[in-house]
Amino acid sequence: MSAEETAAAAPARPENPALAFVRRFVAGDLGELRVIVGLIVIWAIFQIQEDRFLSSTNLTNLVLQITAIGLVSVGVVLVLLLGEIDLSVGAVSGLCAAIMAVLTVKEGWSPYVAIAAAILAGTAIGLFQGFVFTRFGVPSFVVTLAGLLAWQGAHLEVLGSTGTINVTDSVITGLTSTFYEGATGWVIALVAFGAYAAGVLLGRRQRVKAGLPVRNIGSVVLRLGGAGVIAATAVLTDDRGVPLALLILVGFVAFFQYVTTRTRFGRHIFAVGGNAEAARRAGIPVTRVRVVVFAIASSMAAIGGIMAASRLLAVNQSSGGGDFLLLAIAGPVIAGTSLFGGRGSVLTALLGALVIGSISNGMDLLALESSVKFMVTGAVLLAAVVIDAIARRERQAEGRV
């Protein structure tokens, strides 16, 4: 619409370009850049304090530390995109890990079957919660709060009187202790990135062929991404190699990133989160979308719980408890997924877990008290939600609701 209209819509006062950049930065218009800059700052601070922070060993540890929470966050992102919340993911991850442990250790099931059963238990829980939420119109906050309590009880029940079950099965522990060294690691990393790059370039060619404008930012992202993958692989292979756990995390993130941005189901998630009534009128099966998303969230919680058990080599009464739930929700929010629905990306699950994991890892390295850790993490979360609220207000001020 003509220049006049644009001018009329924009604020009349001329804006300082630097200020405009800061405003867009805060408003999250620049996408994931905000988080990446934040991450660099955090890493720089810790590296100055403690030069082991950016060592390949510590970075490999960091990767292993964030796997479980990152996987849980993937499911949380989908729920947040709907404009809902799932408070039960921590309890579900503990319960499902306990189910897996009991089935393998006490019942002697094959680890593969036990893992599948644990994930299916998670799916069933999610379907149930989604059903109650959609059928009775109970706010998801309350349904999953009830779930948080109930599944915690079930978790204790399943664990039984011993309270702790040690997991020694090599398949399960291997999930977080398998590394692909040297050439193997490089081949995996490059093939994975090559596939992604090919996808991007193909999509680009299609647009060019159709005579549609191509965004230049794409090639920048591709180059930065390529540099990132090479740097990460170099660091990881310098230590123990590319961890299987990282591949699992990245695999799920990539899969759900694809689902949310490239499939009809993903489009419907955003539509329901943006305007459920409009989605309903457009013929989108709103109830089905909601139930499926809750099922995915609980399934991802189960997978996260399994990874946590694999790393801890045990499932105990505090598995999935403590700050696990809150951090799994805080991560994506810190990285830019809105609590108000309809805005965000699965990528923020990975970035958010990296931010939270880096803070926690760095403070452990500095041997800070856990009192300090809690307060710092709380402050970071508060800052993130304040930024989210400001961004929302900015959009409303611009009439973007």
- Nearer to other proteins by Cβ, of 13 and 264: the residue is 264
Candidates 150, 171, 197, 259; binder of other proteins (CB under 8 A) is 259
Q: Residue 243: what are its φ and ψ, rounded to 5°?
A: -70, 140
Contact between 399 and other proteins per CB under 8 A: yes
- Nearer to other proteins by Cβ, of 183 and 401: the residue is 401
User: Which amino acid would we find at residue 83?
Assistant: G
Contact between 262 and other proteins per CB under 8 A: yes
- In angstroms, give the least distance from the CB of 207 to other proteins: 6
Site size for other proteins, by CB under 8 A? 38
Write out the two tokens for 172. 């399960």
Q: Enumerate residues 188-227 that contact other proteins by CB under 8 A.
A: 203, 206-207, 210-212
Q: Enumerate residues 282-311 that contact other proteins by CB under 8 A.
A: 282-284
- In angstroms, give the least distance from the CB of 200 to other proteins: 13
Within 10 A of 367 (CB to CB), how many other CB atoms are there? 7
- In angstroms, give the least distance from the CB of 352 to other proteins: 20
Candidates 155, 240, 343, 392; binder of other proteins (CB under 8 A) is 343
User: What is the contact mask toward other proteins in residues 265 to 284, using x (rule: CB under 8 A)?
Assistant: x-x--xx-xxx-xxx-xxxx
- In angstroms, give the least distance from the CB of 35 to other proteins: 19
- In angstroms, give the least distance from the CB of 23 to other proteins: 15
**Residues 6 or more apart in contact with residue 12 via CB below 8 angstroms:** none
Q: What angle do CA 29, 77, 348 make, to 5 degrees?
A: 45
- Nearer to other proteins by Cβ, of 255 and 374: the residue is 255
- Nearer to other proteins by Cβ, of 212 and 367: the residue is 212
Beta bridge partners of 243: 179
Q: Which stretch binds other proteins (CB under 8 A): 2-10, 19-27, 43-51, 115-123?
A: 2-10
- Nearer to other proteins by Cβ, of 3 and 367: the residue is 3
- Nearer to other proteins by Cβ, of 70 and 341: the residue is 341
Q: Which residues bind other proteins (CB under 8 A)?
A: 1-2, 5-6, 9, 203, 206-207, 210-212, 258-259, 262-265, 267, 270-271, 273-275, 277-279, 281-284, 341-343, 395, 398-401
